Amino acid sequence: MHGLCPLSAALGAANIAAMLAAATSLVLGLWARALDLVFPPRCVSCGAFGAFLCAACLAAAPPAAPPRCPVCWMPSEGPDSLCSRCPSRRFHFEAARSPFIYDGAAREAVHALKYRGLSALAGPMARPMADCLRQWAPPAGVIVPVPLAGPRRRLRGYNQSELLAREVSRLTGLPLAPRALVRRRSTPPQARIADEAARQANVVGAFAPGPATLHGGVLLIDDVLTSGATLDACAHVLREASAGPVFALTFARED
């Protein structure tokens, strides 16, 4: 025992921890492969085996192609012209982007991620989001997911926006601040509310700043942009907390 200095004891502990981590990831990898054999991944859109969202369906998903409003990414007359709505409204976020329109395979992917527990879809869904982000390159230093209220998160087992945010962070190297925003209360899903004013009222006071303090610009991530009310409420809280300019990236947007 005499020869074991605190440093070598610490190195020994670190080695054991590294070996345990390697063994755990090996077991998890084998388990994932075993699950793939029993439940092979099937495309959520066409049902083909091999991937949760096959390359053909992803390629056929309707792109949110320009010309679009530089602020809200709604279709517009020309590349730099605002949509018909943006001149008379002001969001707390600077601009939003989405690679897809919320339709076809893009809609099916969102539904499967949100309501069918297919968390493995976050990887393939985040790739076009990361491509969109690289092209856009907004001045944001950190990624923040739109938080999900506790009861809904427990029921689903995860927050789909956080899974997408994690994957986008991994693919782009932009750091993730998963606890920069918290949800104070559960609200009825925005999709069930038709009227835009009611959607805004639905999320008023729903979010609060979390323990992490941010500066220098934020990229908010969510699965779908509908009226923009949820992203606007989140951006409002972040602006009040002096996080700097806020930008928003979603997998799909409703046109």
Q: How far is the CB of 220 from Zn ion (least distance, A)?
A: 17
96 forms part of the interface with Zn ion (CB under 5 A) = no
Q: Does 238 bind Zn ion (CB under 5 A)?
A: no
User: Could you say whether residue 71 binds Zn ion (CB under 5 A)?
Assistant: yes
Greatest distance between any 2 Cα atoms in the chain: 79
CA distance 209 to 229: 17
Contact between 106 and Zn ion by CB under 5 A: the answer reads: no
Under the binding rule (CB under 5 A), the answer on residue 69 touching Zn ion is yes
Q: Does 112 bind Zn ion (CB under 5 A)?
A: no
Q: How many residues does the chain have?
A: 255
> Judged by CB under 5 A, does residue 45 bind Zn ion?
yes
Rounded to whole angstroms, the Cα distance separating 8 from 220 reads 44
Which residue lies nearer to Zn ion by CB, 69 or 218?
Answer: 69
Among 61, 64, 83, 221, binds Zn ion (CB under 5 A): 83
For residues 197 and 203, give the distance between their C-alpha atoms in angstroms, rounded to a whole number. Answer: 10
58 scored as a contact of Zn ion (CB under 5 A): no
The verdict on 57 binding Zn ion (CB under 5 A) reads yes
Report the residue number, 99 or 145, with the smaller CB distance to Zn ion.
99
Q: Does 43 bind Zn ion (CB under 5 A)?
A: yes
CA distance 228 to 103: 17
Number of residues that bind Zn ion (CB under 5 A): 11
- For the bound state, the minimum distance from the C-beta of residue 176 to Zn ion, rounded and expressed in Å, comes to 28
Applying CB under 5 A, the span of 66-74, 89-97, 107-115, 153-161 interacting with Zn ion comes to 66-74
Residue 46 binds to Zn ion (criterion: CB under 5 A): yes
- Contacts to Zn ion by CB under 5 A: 43, 45-46, 54, 57, 69, 71-72, 74, 83, 86
